[in-house]
Structure 1
Amino acid sequence: MLQSILNTIAKPFVWLGGFFARLGAILRVVIGVILAVLLVLYGIFFWNTQVWNAFSPDYADAYNLATKEAGHVSEPSGGIVSDNTTETDTQGESAEKKSCRRSMIVEASANLVDFNVNQNAWISSMILYKLGLFGVPWDATPFFDNKAVFQRGIHQAVQRTAVELVDSLGRVRGTSEADKDLQTARSDLQYNEFYWYWSFSPFGPKTTSPAIYRTAIKNLEKYNNRLESCDALFDARADNLLAFLDRIAKDIGGTSALLKERSENYSSGWFDTRADDRFWFAYGQLYAYYGILTAARTDFEDVIKQRRLEAIWDELEGQLRASLNITPFIISNGAEAGWFMPSHLATLGFYILRVRSNLVEIRTILDR
């Protein structure tokens, strides 16, 4: 019986060996080179999908320390980060002349894109990721897609932030002209996440997704350099912070709904092969918003002090940091009342709701 099973398993390999032996020498060399190239490419692909370079749940600490140690801020900002404006601040008084500084929100956004495309390979547009497992998309399998969806979660948060920078934060009261560098960065970040060098829909050569995102980094840095030189504006008013937090709350609220739907309707524990996609996308969003909201505390320092938001902002950052401790080896989507297989989606969803609750509470205070 055992011999029969072994013969059955070995039969395709024996046939393949015989077929290869019957080929001509030149054809064998060609096929051998192709197989060697594929082996190298898959080795690189597997390495890139499994190794997460520069990943750190405590990365956001840099945006707090930068205000005290890196010399980015010489004085706290008033309503607008600039030393050549007399726009009124959030209390309706004329803003004093300020030393200009870089925006930590912009810096955090640029660093998150750098993390995605420079410190790591952008997985979603890699040719072997696009080819899938024998034609089946990797997103539809339980293999090699966690890093890709994690990166896309980060990217969505950065896209949302870029829109707010153009529409309100990077201009005065929404009435001045939008900043050109921020506009270009926003456009770059909206670029298709899956483009390789060639596309069949639409047909033709393409610039790869990570190449365009690297351009966005340069434009964000250009804006920040101009801001530091007092040649650009950052409108750090309470109503802008309110609107920014409102958009973030809606963004993660949509993700919470996706987790809830998956958790309730597909609670098959470790055997739910799509639960990891939902989990790591949400995790990527929280990872990005942890840095962005920590940076926002620096950019809106005066508003937060004036409205006495320090304690609730501490709680917000604490909830975001705590959510990043959830890094299970295998994602389980078990029943919430189950005793054997946990529900990691429900656990992460709880933290998202806590973060959203903090955001709504801050928004309510700002709206008084």
Structure 2
Amino acid sequence: MLKSILSFIAKPFIWLGGLFGRLGMILKIAIIVLLIVLVPFYGYFFWTTQVWNGFDPDYAQAYSHATKEAGDVPEPSGGIVSGDTDETDKTAGRTNDKSCRRSMIVEATANLTNFNVNENAWISSMLLYKMGLFGIPWDATPFFDNKAAFQRGAHQAVQRTAVELVDALGRVRGTSQVDKDLQEARGDLQFNESTWYFSLSPFGPKTPTPSFYRSAIKDLNKFNDRLEKCDAVFDARADNLLEFVDRIARDIGATSAVLRERSENYNSGWFDTRADDRFWFAYGQIYAYYGILTAARADFEDVIRERRLEAIWDELEEQLRASLNIAPFIISNGAEAGWIMPSHLATLGFYILRVRSNLVEIRTILDR
């Protein structure tokens, strides 16, 4: 029996060996050269798609320990503007609620981007990922696309945060001038996710996606360096926090709807080749928002304390962390009432809805 199995496995290789032996010398050399190039190329691709460097579901704890370190009273143009300080006082330079410290939200945004493009390779723009499996996109197969989907999900959270930093958080009441570093970072983070070094349409060389994201990291860190020196503004007011959590709630609400649609209409269990894309995108998004929302607690600590949001924010962080415990080896999209193949999409979607419920409650309290 064992001999028959081994013979069956070896048959294709024996056939290929015979075919190779009948080829001419030039074709043999060409095939050998091609294999020398492709084997390490694919080896690197397989390695980068399977190894997740720096992944830590408890990474957000670093932001939860951030404390307010007030320095000298800054000039009216800089610092973190905390709470609901009166506009007149800020303009007159009598603001005592400003402190020269870094923004944890900006720090988390830069660190998440660094995790995606420096600690790990950005999968979506890699040539072999773009080529797919014999022309079939990797997203349409069960192979080598989980990390790419996770990265795209985390990056969506980063993009959403960058928009809010430019539009509201990085300037006083949205009426002052847009911060140049934050604007540059937002533009770079919005760049196409799948650009390689060369393109056929339009034809010519390109700057690859990771280069833009790395540039955004530098701009975010420059803003935080200026903020620490009181040369920039982070407007930590209650209405800004309200808008921020509202936008995040909408973002993850849309992701929850995608999970629900896939779960309800494609009950193929372990054989749903697109379920893993949906799952890991949502997982990456929650992973990023866990850090960003934990960082928001540090930046908006005065507002959270004044509005007595500590208990519900604790629950929010607990729900975010609990959702990261759902990390199965194989993603199954079975029927919710099924007993053989679980429904991982429905399970993750349940946790996302609980997180969204916490965010909506926080928004309601802030809106009173």
Q: TM-score, normalised by structure 1?
A: 0.92
Asked whether the equivalents of residues 82 and 230 of structure 1 are also in contact (C-alpha less than 8 Å), the reply is no
Matched, 1:182 2:182: yes
Look up the match of 1:317: 317
Report the Cα distance in structure 2 between the residues aligned to 1:227 and 1:8, rounded to whole angstroms: 67
Look up the match of 1:70: none
Deviations 1:251-298 (A, max 9, x none): 000000000000000012111111111100000000000000000000
Report the Cα distance in structure 2 between the residues aligned to 1:140 and 1:32, rounded to whole angstroms: 31
Asked whether the equivalents of residues 82 and 236 of structure 2 are also in contact (C-alpha less than 8 Å), the reply is no
Report the Cα distance in structure 1 between the residues aligned to 2:266 and 2:84, rounded to whole angstroms: 48
Report the Cα distance in structure 2 between the residues aligned to 1:326 and 1:228, rounded to whole angstroms: 37
Look up the match of 1:90: 84
Report the AA paired with residue 264 of structure 1. Answer: E
Report the Cα distance in structure 1 between the residues aligned to 2:4 and 2:103, rounded to whole angstroms: 69
Moved more, 333-342 or 279-288: 333-342
Report the Cα distance in structure 2 between the residues aligned to 1:287 and 1:259, rounded to whole angstroms: 16
Look up the match of 1:74: 69
Task: Count matched residues.
Answer: 359
Asked whether the equivalents of residues 82 and 233 of structure 1 are also in contact (C-alpha less than 8 Å), the reply is no
Look up the match of 2:236: 236
| Structure 1, unaligned runs of 5 or more | 68-72
Q: Where do residues 99-248 of structure 1 align in structure 2 (5 Å cutoff)?
A: 99-248=99-248
Cα root mean square deviation, aligned: 2.3
% same residue: 76
Q: Where do residues 239-258 of structure 1 align in structure 2 (5 Å cutoff)?
A: 239-258=239-258
Quote how far apart the aligned CAs of 1:200 are. 2.0
Shift in CA distance, 228/2, structure 1 to aligned 2, threshold 3 Å: closer
Q: Where do residues 248-327 of structure 1 align in structure 2 (5 Å cutoff)?
A: 248-327=248-327
Shift in CA distance, 29/303, structure 1 to aligned 2, threshold 3 Å: same
Quote how far apart the aligned CAs of 1:29 are. 2.5
Report the Cα distance in structure 1 between the residues aligned to 2:100 and 2:185, rounded to whole angstroms: 22
Could you say what secondary structure the match of 1:52 adopts? Answer: coil
Shift in CA distance, 58/3, structure 1 to aligned 2, threshold 3 Å: closer
Quote how far apart the aligned CAs of 1:24 are. 3.9
Asked whether the equivalents of residues 336 and 343 of structure 1 are also in contact (C-alpha less than 8 Å), the reply is yes
Look up the match of 2:29: 29
Look up the match of 1:51: 51
Quote how far apart the aligned CAs of 1:100 are. 0.5
Shift in CA distance, 340/19, structure 1 to aligned 2, threshold 3 Å: closer
Could you say what secondary structure the match of 1:235 adopts? Answer: strand
Asked whether the equivalents of residues 82 and 303 of structure 2 are also in contact (C-alpha less than 8 Å), the reply is no
Look up the match of 1:367: 367
Report the AA paired with residue 211 of structure 2. Answer: A
Could you say what secondary structure the match of 1:248 adopts? Answer: helix
